[in-house]
Amino acid sequence: MAVIMIAVISPCVAQQRYGVMFYNVENLFDTISDEGVADEDMLPKADRAWTEERYQRKLNGVARVIADLSNECGFPAIVALAEVENRRVLDDLISQKEIESARYSVCHYDSPDERGIDVALLYRSELFKFKGCKSVRANVESAPNLQTRDYLLVWGDMGGYEVLFCVVHFPSRIGGVKQTEHLRMGCAKQVREIVDSAIIANPDRKVVILGDMNDNPNNRSIHKALGAKRVGCRVESGRLYNLTASGRAGSSVYDGRWNRYDNIVVSSNLLLSGNGLHVVMPKRNVRVGYAQRFEYLLDDRKYPKPTYQGGEYRGGVSDHLPIYMMLER
């Protein structure tokens, strides 16, 4: 493989920039019972008392996060989300006054997840010329009856370059890390096969994988099955690179420990400034793709403040923090 050095890009020479974010929004459910979906905990008369007031507060909080990640080009061009219940909550979200002027369009499919949660992608049509989208059912050989989130593929033109976005939410660790590892390994392998096929069909296509992978960048599902490498001082053509693999900080906390389950993985041609559309790399690339720690998203311990902790309403936006990167052409 060819070895190519990463160029350092100065913000002052930017021609056009495109914000790209991913956010696990922790059970963004409406207050209506849907048949065939295990949403009984997220209803007004449930023990959690998921009322319309609480729902609107959460929508407002998510919209505020999107608005606060605006840049010189305005609202993020791409907003990928995990743990959304249905199309209705997405329509309610894009109608929030904080972001309604962005006129986001929605890509979403219902998936077979037992809790009724899906992934989705919002895009601004003036910055991303949508060409198509589809969902892909998770297919893990060792778990033929697996019911989890579908992968969402969205492709189009950004700044004159073809880009494929893949939004994922891999199976959780509930039941034990080792006992469930094969599920995430299988999903990561399948996603890598999807990406490889897309690149073979068009070697110039640029690829961005965003999602909650329920594993850290150094776990086998990500660094081996998906093949996402840590960004270093050089880039090898044809590989995938994890922009969230460097440094210590994470985007969620479990048992007092920060995790980096939320990941942004890109194809190598997005790290090359001479190759058109590329990731904006600061002088020290360890901050690329990092979680955004807005104070209103944190509790007194500086951990993400969840909407619910167990059955107790905490009133936070999410138990995850958003992760973010900037593309430039």
Q: H/E/C letters for each residue in 237-294?
A: CCCEEECCCCCCCCCEEECCEEECCEEEEEEHHHCCHHHCCEECCCCCHHHCCCECCC
Per-residue pLDDT tens over the stretch 137-160: 999 999 999 999 999 999 999 999
Which residue would you say has higher pLDDT here, 300 or 12?
Answer: 300
- Report the distance separating Cα 109 and Cα 220, nearest Å: 28
Q: Flag the least confident range among 27-36, 115-124, 314-323.
A: 27-36
Are the C-beta atoms of 198 and 205 separated by less than 8 Å?
yes
pLDDT at 40: 92
Which residue would you say has higher pLDDT here, 281 or 189?
Answer: 189
pLDDT at 6: 37
Query: Which secondary-structure segment (H or E) carries 103?
Result: none
12 pLDDT more than 60: no
- Report the distance separating Cα 266 and Cα 206, nearest Å: 8
Mean pLDDT of 21-27: 97
74 pLDDT more than 70: yes
Closest CA to 269 of 191, 323, 199, 325: 199
45 pLDDT more than 60: yes
- Report the distance separating Cα 209 and Cα 195, nearest Å: 9
pLDDT at 248: 63
CA 316 to each of CA 58, 303, 305: distance values in angstroms, whole numbers, following the listed order: 8, 11, 5
Are the C-beta atoms of 143 and 180 separated by less than 8 Å?
no
Q: Which residue has the tokens 């305005």?
A: 74
pLDDT at 35: 83
Per-residue pLDDT tens over the stretch 32-44: 998 888 899 999 9
- Evaluate whether the domain defined by 17-328 bears CATH number 3.60.10.10: yes
Band of the pLDDT at 251, cuts 50, 70, 90? very high
23 pLDDT more than 80: yes
pLDDT at 10: 36
- Report the distance separating Cα 175 and Cα 81, nearest Å: 25
Q: How many CB atoms lie within 10 A of CB 164?
A: 22
Per-residue pLDDT tens over the stretch 263-311: 999 999 999 877 799 998 765 544 566 789 999 999 999 999 999 998 9
Closest CA to 131 of 100, 165, 113, 155: 155
- Report the distance separating Cα 323 and Cα 151, nearest Å: 19
300 contacts: CB under 8 Å, gap ≥ 6: none
pLDDT at 249: 75
Which residue would you say has higher pLDDT here, 8 or 170?
Answer: 170
Q: How many CB atoms lie within 10 A of CB 301?
A: 9
pLDDT at 1: 40
pLDDT at 283: 54
Band of the pLDDT at 321, cuts 50, 70, 90? very high
pLDDT at 236: 87
Are the C-beta atoms of 139 and 150 separated by less than 8 Å?
no
- Report the distance separating Cα 9 and Cα 209, nearest Å: 22
Question: Burial, 31: exposed, middle or buried (Cβ in 10 Å; 0-12, 13-18, 19+)?
Answer: middle
- Report the distance separating Cα 90 and Cα 113, nearest Å: 17
Are the C-beta atoms of 211 and 154 separated by less than 8 Å?
no
pLDDT at 233: 62
Mean pLDDT of 236-254: 87
Question: Burial, 136: exposed, middle or buried (Cβ in 10 Å; 0-12, 13-18, 19+)?
Answer: middle
Per-residue pLDDT tens over the stretch 198-229: 999 999 999 999 999 999 999 999 999 999 99
| Extents of the domains making up the chain | 17-328
Closest CA to 219 of 254, 191, 245, 256: 245
